[in-house]
Amino acid sequence: MTFESWWLIFLPLLFGLGWLAARIDFRHMLSESRNLPDSYFKGLNFLLNEQPDRAIDAFVEVAKLDPETTELHFALGNLFRRRGEMERAIRVHQSLLARADLPSREREHALHEIAQDYLKAGMLDRAEMAYKELKNTRYQEQAARALVRIYESEHDWPKAIEAVRRLGKLTSESVPQLVHYYCEIAQGHLTHQPPEFEALRSALDEAGRIVGQEDTSTSASRARVLMLEAALARASGDAGLERHYLLTLLDEAPEYAGLIASDLQNNFAASNECDQLLQRLSSHYEQHPSLDLFDVVFRLNWRAHGSQAAWAFAQTALSKSPSLLGLERALLAQSKAEPVDGVDTQSNQALVSLDLLKRLVGRHTQRLDRYSCRVCGFQARAFYWQCPGCHGWETYSPRRVEEQL
């Protein structure tokens, strides 16, 4: 292809067209900037000068002057919510929802925002209604997760089950907390006076069915179901069945043995078979040591073989896993078991020293005698299946803080 000199004629023409287009665009920008309220530029100036409170006031004035600025409304609502000014955030999003000309996509956005406002403000009933309206929208997954949190906080386990099943269908994810919902229902029936055995049995059967599915089964969920089965058998007066479930837990969830050690001791003590239990728990402790298990094995040794055998076990155990809590529990068990009446003065003086040592050790073990959440670090004296801090399920270790150091 040859170059023709007359093509050069088009160069000035193209340059002129480009200059004209730029000029028109520049005029358009100037026109738009003139239409912007002065409050908008004041708000920007306050932001640049790190004066967020005055900037917010300026942007609120812009929103009043120009109600069509939906993005500014959303930005203000989010800012108010983050600052904890929930009433102002709700008013901003309510003003958007009140507009009849608001496009459906932005209406869904506003509904999602106000649902978050209600949730953070603790207005759970209104938050629930708002999230339910988001069904079959692009926010349905976030709404389903929020509804799960709401029902969990209200302990409305049947609704939580329904919500988490819906969430599972939306995301195709496994929902391990589902078994705990049925366990919570079972626990409620068990603590009712008198226990509601039929409803309890139904909830436990469903929990056991879920645990039987490999994709949703965890060591914690199996342990909890077995513990509830044992509790049901105990409430029904069937000591043999209770023992079966407790021993099954030792095999299937050995790290949770400390949570049932006292129940095992009571069960075997009722039939005078503590020697058999001592052998079983001593062997288990060597593989899966825990403070609760240490406590029971120490006491069983004391009752079966006397103080020397108990302290020999304690010395061996504490030398392998040094623990102030373990020492405190051994001292406590000895102080309760040692007879005071009828012993000589030297023995009584030894007991006084022992009691003093126990109190001194106890002062330093109070902060260690807690369970801790692996996610948020929330500590508590009781063991929780759901963390009271971050509300996560199965985040508590069955070992206390000192054992994890």
Helix (H) or strand (E) holding 399: strand 396-400
Residue 82, judged by CB atoms within 10 A of its CB (0-12, 13-18, 19+), counts as exposed
pLDDT for the residue 346: 43
Token pair belonging to 118: 């209600």
Token pair belonging to 349: 């003086």
pLDDT for the residue 339: 44
Q: How far apart are CA 161 and CA 148, in angstroms?
A: 8
* Apex 78 CA angle, 132 and 43, nearest 5: 150
pLDDT for the residue 59: 56
Known binding residues for Fe cation = 373, 376, 387, 390
List, in order, residues 6 or more apart from 297 with CB less than 8 Å away: 278, 281, 282, 285, 313, 317
pLDDT for the residue 29: 42
Q: pLDDT tens per residue, the chain (405 residues)?
A: 555 565 555 556 556 556 555 544 434 443 444 444 555 445 555 545 656 566 556 555 555 545 556 777 777 778 778 888 898 888 878 877 887 877 889 899 999 999 999 999 999 999 999 999 999 999 999 999 999 999 999 999 999 999 999 998 898 877 778 999 999 999 999 998 888 999 999 999 999 999 987 666 789 999 999 999 999 999 999 999 999 999 999 999 999 999 999 999 999 999 999 999 999 999 999 999 888 898 899 889 988 888 788 888 888 887 787 777 777 767 766 665 544 344 343 444 444 355 555 555 555 566 677 889 989 889 888 899 999 888 899 999 888 877 766
Known binding residues = 373, 376, 387, 390
Of the candidates 170, 103, 116, the residue with the CA atom closest to the CA atom of residue 138:
170
pLDDT for the residue 250: 94
Q: How far apart are CA 11 and CA 227, in angstroms?
A: 87
